[in-house]
Amino acid sequence: MEKQLRVSFKTPMRLLTVCRSYRRPKALRTLLQSWDETHSKGSEIIVYLSTDDPKLHNYENVIAGRNVIIDDHRFFGDSINHVTQNIFPKIPYYQGIGDDHVYHTHGWDSLMIGAIEKETAGWGMAASNDLVEKDWYAMRHPSGEVYPWRLAEHLNGMYPPSHSQYGADIYFEILLYSIGLLVFVKDAVIEHNCWAATGKGENDENQKYSYSQEARNSFLSWFRPWRETQMPADKARLKEIVDTERAKRTVETDENSSDNPSA
């Protein structure tokens, strides 16, 4: 298959899920079916495939009638950034997800957006319950994450540059959690099939590469300089923005209460 963009979105759109799939047509079918059965009105999903995928022809029936981008090979984070920054920007909320997930909770998107609005003044990231971490607060590594356009725009792309999705959860935890911008939504269950980690089987080629030394080195070559030189300023700027937004919302709430004393 050649490069193509096939979309038929309904409007208005509140959330766009961008699913990166590579060499896993069967897993993608399962993910899409579970997404169809659980998402709320106003949410859409688009699948990103690569022209160099050796199993690309096996996707034909899976993606029939779906929103699809078939483009150059990009790793997970770069795919999500490309779609959300360059092709479909300015949608209120996004979700970046791999094809090794299964949605279980009806209205997961509304739950996660509600948590972002309530807990982070509309600026933070919500992590789903991926059924992997027994104690999420011990690790605080997000999965199935939902985040607003304003945060991605501020960071010039939500995901760090890397040759896999390795390390993105570490980056999110370090950047966002300490300033109150990473919230765990326990009731939004989006299962992450890390097969070896969960005892469900052996990792496939995708997951073996994601946890390879090459993938780790790719992430660390960016992450270490960022942590040492840029992280404090990034966190301070975000905290200032969010504190201002929270103060603004408090004033608006107080004014509305004054206008409606019986409310």
Distance CA 109, CA 92 (A): 12
Distance CA 184, CA 138 (A): 12
Residue type, 123: W
Q: For the chain, what are the domain ranges? A: 4-253
Q: Is the dihedral of CA 246, 247, 248, 250 positive or negative?
A: positive
pLDDT of residue 257: 67
Query: Which tokens in the block code for residue 28?
Result: 């993608």
pLDDT of residue 201: 59
How large a percentage of the chain has pLDDT more than 70? 88
| Residue 161: DSSP 8-state | P
Closest CA to 130 of 165, 173, 100: 100
Please name every residue paired with 129 in a beta bridge, in sequence order, or none if there are none: 189
Distance CA 175, CA 235 (A): 6
pLDDT of residue 206: 65
Distance CA 139, CA 45 (A): 28
69: helix, strand or coil: strand
CB 129 within 8 A of CB 70: no
pTM: 0.90
Q: Residues 96-143: pLDDT tens digits?
A: 999 999 999 999 999 999 999 999 999 999 999 999 877 888 878 899
pLDDT of residue 137: 82
**CATH 3.20.20.240 for domain 4-253:** no
232 Cα distance to chain centroid: 23
User: Cα–Cα distances in Å, from 263 out to 5, 146, 205, 248, 250?
Assistant: 49, 32, 58, 20, 16
Distance CA 96, CA 45 (A): 10
Q: Which residue has the tokens 């080629």?
A: 205
Going through 99-202 in order, the beta strands assigned E by DSSP cover: 101-103, 125-129, 146-148, 182-192
- Give the chain's residues under pLDDT 50: none
CB 125 within 8 A of CB 147: yes
Q: Residues 53-72: pLDDT tens digits?
A: 999 999 999 999 999 999 99
